[in-house]
């Protein structure tokens, strides 16, 4: 599979396509190619090539019209509903984006969140972000085919709720799709963030993956995992909550977990658990960026805690490897900015603690776009919810 780096010719080409599409989308009676050139700063030859490609993929229509006394090629956006919105809701942030159905990101926004906001605060922030994204991409609500919001908690498919003891307790006990749809005045699909991370990693702007399971593990305030099977389908389980890796009990007499069980992986390997441990050792509050910075400088307690985290997470993943024999395991979440300091002990624990055959085939790696996996997944899932006839 070709890897597209941010500075590669292919990434630049994709960015230029998005610029042309954003310019055209903002002008509902169309733009001449010269106007597109002026708005985007691209050369006439580039605009011609990019417009030809967008017309071939059905994203714009090109007609000859009389404009300012001259016959000009006018580029107009194709009918509405060709775009999707995704929001990724975390404990400390909301990230949002607008994309085309074929996975081209047109606009992106990030907002930090204060801890433990009320439901109405969260919904108001999401509504505001939606408006800003539409404005940034020069679109209206009628251009949007579908919208997906990711939440950090196991989502029960029957009740539509995230369970008690979830990372965002203020969102538990309510039918999330209904509340979001009412507040945003738009039909919203809600999905677990680790599931979205898996879709983002394995189905966003990438070639079809293997038929064997691919797993995305998200290490954060909670520890979740999303499982993609048959190349592109989420494996949700009987009630939608498959992949709660953080609540695998590794020590029956260990610490009490917020789920009510004892010795869950989260009690020893979630970032709050480890930061509490490090803060005690340092005799002052330590934040995640500080921890990672100290570890990068080689501070021994910080490095040791990353190794411990990696060993615990790797032990839990080894059980998963034995159970479902995945082809790929991607380790995501903010703590993976530490790179090999975390990834190496994870890999080592998987090799040591899984059976030789599945342990030998599984590829363990970091995400392709570390901060964007969940957002990409929200947009990829939204594209699959677009009305029939609009899928590319
Ligand atoms: Zn638990």
Separation of alpha carbons 303 and 296, rounded Å: 8
Are the C-beta atoms of 216 and 332 separated by less than 8 Å? yes
User: pLDDT class for 166, splitting at 50, 70, 90?
Assistant: low
Separation of alpha carbons 94 and 375, rounded Å: 10
Terminal C-alpha separation, the chain: 21
Separation of alpha carbons 266 and 246, rounded Å: 5
pLDDT digits (tens, 9 = 90+) for 53-69: 888 777 788 888 888 78
Are the C-beta atoms of 258 and 273 separated by less than 8 Å? no
Question: How many A from CA of 264 to the centre of ligand 1?
Answer: 5
Write out the two tokens for 240.
């939608």
Q: Do domains 9-77 and 208-365 have the same CATH topology?
A: no
Cα 320 to the center of its chain, rounded Å: 22
* Segments making up each domain of the chain, as ranges: 9-77, 83-198+372-384, 208-365
H-type alpha helices, 204-299 = 265-269, 271-282, 288-296
Question: How many A from CA of 290 to the centre of ligand 1?
Answer: 27
Mean pLDDT of 350-363: 96
Question: How many A from CA of 94 to the centre of ligand 1?
Answer: 25
Question: How many A from CA of 305 to the centre of ligand 1?
Answer: 20
Question: How many A from CA of 272 to the centre of ligand 1?
Answer: 14
- Least confident range of 74-78, 165-169, 294-298, 331-335: 165-169
Reference 176, options 109, 248, 99, 122; nearest CA is: 122
Question: How many A from CA of 185 to the centre of ligand 1?
Answer: 35
Tell the CATH topology of 208-365. Answer: Nucleotidyltransferase; domain 5 (3.30.420)
User: pLDDT class for 5, splitting at 50, 70, 90?
Assistant: low
How many other β-carbons are positioned within 10 Å of the β-carbon of residue 246? 28
Query: What architecture does CATH give domain 83-198+372-384?
Result: 2-Layer Sandwich (3.30)
Q: pLDDT value at position 164?
A: 60
pTM of the model as a whole: 0.80
pLDDT digits (tens, 9 = 90+) for 228-286: 999 899 999 998 889 999 999 999 999 999 888 999 999 999 999 999 999 999 999 99
pLDDT > 80? residue 121: yes
Separation of alpha carbons 358 and 318, rounded Å: 9
Question: How many A from CA of 245 to the centre of ligand 1?
Answer: 9
Mean pLDDT of 217-232: 93
Question: How many A from CA of 316 to the centre of ligand 1?
Answer: 13
Question: How many A from CA of 77 to the centre of ligand 1?
Answer: 49
Question: How many A from CA of 60 to the centre of ligand 1?
Answer: 50
Query: What architecture does CATH give domain 9-77?
Result: Orthogonal Bundle (1.10)
DSSP character for 262? Answer: B
pLDDT > 60? residue 33: yes
């Amino acid at each position: 599979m070709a890897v597209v780096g941010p500075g590669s010719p292919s990434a630049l080409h994709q960015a230029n396509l998005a610029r042309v599409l954003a310019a055209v989308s903002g002008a509902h009676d169309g733009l001449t190619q010269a106007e597109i050139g002026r708005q985007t700063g691209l050369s006439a030859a580039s605009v011609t090539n990019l417009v030809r490609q967008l017309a071939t993929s059905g994203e714009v229509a090109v007609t000859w019209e009389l404009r300012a006394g001259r016959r000009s090629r006018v580029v107009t956006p194709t009918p509405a509903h060709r775009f999707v919105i995704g929001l990724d809701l975390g404990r400390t942030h909301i990230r949002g984006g607008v994309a085309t159905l074929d996975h081209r990101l047109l606009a992106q926004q990030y907002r930090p969140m204060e801890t433990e906001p009320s439901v109405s605060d969260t919904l108001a922030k999401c509504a505001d972000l939606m408006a800003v994204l539409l404005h940034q991409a020069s679109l209206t609500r009628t251009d949007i085919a579908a919208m997906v919001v990711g939440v950090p908690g196991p989502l029960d498919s029957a009740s539509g709720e995230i369970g008690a003891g979830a990372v965002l307790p203020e969102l538990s006990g309510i039918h999330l799709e209904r509340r979001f749809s009412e507040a945003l005045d738009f039909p919203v699909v809600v999905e677990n963030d680790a599931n979205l991370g898996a879709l983002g990693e394995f189905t966003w702007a990438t070639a079809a993956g293997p038929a064997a399971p691919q797993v995305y593990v998200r290490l954060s305030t909670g520890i979740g995992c999303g499982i993609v099977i048959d190349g592109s389908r989420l494996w949700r389980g009987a009630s939608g909550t498959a992949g709660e890796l953080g609540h695998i009990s590794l020590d029956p007499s260990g610490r009490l977990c917020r789920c009510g069980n004892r010795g869950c992986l989260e009690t020893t390997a979630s970032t709050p658990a480890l930061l509490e441990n490090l803060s005690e050792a340092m005799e002052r509050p330590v934040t995640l960026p500080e921890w990672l910075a100290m570890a990068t400088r080689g501070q021994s307690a910080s490095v040791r805690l990353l190794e411990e985290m990696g060993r615990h997470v790797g032990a839990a993943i080894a059980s998963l490897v034995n159970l479902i024999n995945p082809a790929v395991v991607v380790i995501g979440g903010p703590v993976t900015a530490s790179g090999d300091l975390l990834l190496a002990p994870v890999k080592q624990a998987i090799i040591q603690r899984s059976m030789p055959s599945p342990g030998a085939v599984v590829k363990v790696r970091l995400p392709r776009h570390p901060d964007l996996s969940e957002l990409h997944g929200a947009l990829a899932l939204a594209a699959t919810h677009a009305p029939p006839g609009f899928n590319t």
